[in-house]
Amino acid sequence: MKDNSSYELDTLSQKTILVVEGNIALRQALCEFFEESGFRVFATANQEQGLIRLEHDAVHLIVIDLDNMPPEEEALPLCLHAEERGAKVIMLASESHHTPPQPLISQPLLPLLNKPFHVSHLIYLCQSLLTSSR
């Protein structure tokens, strides 16, 4: 019989994270961190690609960087579609640089992680969201 910590690690290794990040270096770094933590990872450069990926693959969590999205794009459609499909969302943003649109702020289930942050905080937040019941 497995102990709870082994079960949680096995469960997390079956979870898929979608990273939506416009900056290629940051996108690659985030993917590496998540893969090293045992997650399956997809990555896209923008919201449009993220919506396509979400339609075709099972995604459990989306990490979206609001700072590196083009000004004409908003995260709202991707976040709403994720919620419809049962995926959770974590938004990343510089506190002084970007304020999420009001509909996103009012969503209690959409955590916002302010930059700079330590990657261990992001991994912990992902693990917490993925192991908590909806």
72: Cα within 13 Å, side-chain hemisphere: 1
| Topology (CATH level 3) of domain 4-131 | Rossmann fold (3.40.50)
Listed by start position, the domains of the chain span 4-131
| Buried-exposed string 55-77: b where 16+ CB fall within 10 A, e elsewhere | eeeebbbbbbbbebbeeeebbee
If one counts every other C-beta atom within 10 angstroms of the C-beta of residue 90, the result is 18
Q: From CA 36, how far away is CA 99, in angstroms rounded?
A: 30
Which percentage of the chain shows pLDDT scores above 70?
A: 74
pLDDT at 108: 54
pLDDT at 71: 64
pLDDT at 58: 93
Report how far apart, in Å, the C-alpha atoms of 19 and of each of 67, 102, 111 are.
13, 22, 15
- Helix, coil or strand: residue 15: coil
Mean pLDDT by runs of 10 across the 134 residues of the chain is 46 85 94 94 93 94 85 75 90 68 54 87 92 68
pLDDT at 62: 95
pLDDT at 87: 92
